[in-house]
Structure 1
Amino acid sequence: MQSQRSEATAGQPVATTVKPLQFRGRSLTAVALHLSGRADGDFLAALEARLRQTPLFFENAPLVLDLTEAEGLDGFEAMANLAGELRSRRLSVFGVQNASAAQAQAAQAAGLIVLPSGRDVGLERVGQAQAAAQVVARTRPGRGKPEPEPAPKEPQARLITQPVRSGQTVFADRGDLVIIGPVSSGAEVIATGNIHIYGRLRGRALAGVNGDTSARIFCHALDAELLAIAGLYRTSETLGPDIPRDFVQVYLEGEKLCVAPLK
Structure 2
Amino acid sequence: MNARPETGEVCDLRFGQVGIASVRVRRADAAALYEELERRVRAAPQLFARAAVVLDLSHFLDLPDEGTVDALLEAVRSAGMLPVGLAYGTSATEALARRMGLPLIAKFRAAYEPAQPHRDDNTPAQAPAAPAPAPPAPSVMEAGLGAQYHDGTVRSGQQIYARDRDLVVVGAVANGAEIIADGSIHVYGSLRGRAMAGAQGDTAARIHVSDFRAELVAIAGHYRVFEQIPEDLAGHAVQCRLDGEKLLLTRL
Contact 2:14 2:222 in 1 (8 A): no
Identify unmatched segments of 5+ residues in structure 2.
1-10, 22-47, 55-65, 86-99, 115-130
Contact 2:212 2:233 in 1 (8 A): no
Q: Distance in 1 between matches of 2:200 and 2:181?
A: 9
Match of 1:227 in 2: 217
Percent of residue pairs identical: 37
Aligned CA-pair RMSD: 4.7
Of 143, 153, 177, the match for 1:154: 143
Match of 1:251 in 2: 241
What are the residue-to-residue correspondences of 1:101-180 with 2, within 5 Å? 136=106, 139=109, 148=134, 152=138, 154-156=143-145, 157-180=147-170
Q: Per-residue displacement from partner, 1:162-194 (whole Å, max 9, x unpaired)? A: 321111221112020111211111111111211
Inter-CA distance 177–88: structure 2 relative to 1 (3 Å threshold)? farther
Inter-CA distance 243–155: structure 2 relative to 1 (3 Å threshold)? same
TM value normalised by structure 2? 0.51
Aligned residues: 175
Match of 1:206 in 2: 196
Q: Distance in 2 between matches of 1:168 and 1:214?
A: 26
Q: Distance in 2 between matches of 1:253 and 1:94?
A: 31
Inter-CA distance 237–180: structure 2 relative to 1 (3 Å threshold)? same
Is residue 199 of structure 2 the alignment partner of residue 195 of structure 1?
A: no
TM value normalised by structure 1? 0.49
Of 242, 259, 263, the match for 2:232: 242
Question: What is the deviation of 1:229?
Answer: 1.8
Q: Tell me the SS of whatever aligns to 1:245.
A: coil
Question: What is the deviation of 1:244?
Answer: 4.9
Identify unmatched segments of 5+ residues in structure 1.
1-47, 65-75, 96-105, 108-134
Bigger-Rg structure (1/2): 1
Question: What is the deviation of 1:259?
Answer: 2.4
Match of 2:74 in 1: 84
AA in 2 matched with 1:159 = Y
Inter-CA distance 216–52: structure 2 relative to 1 (3 Å threshold)? same
Match of 2:33 in 1: none
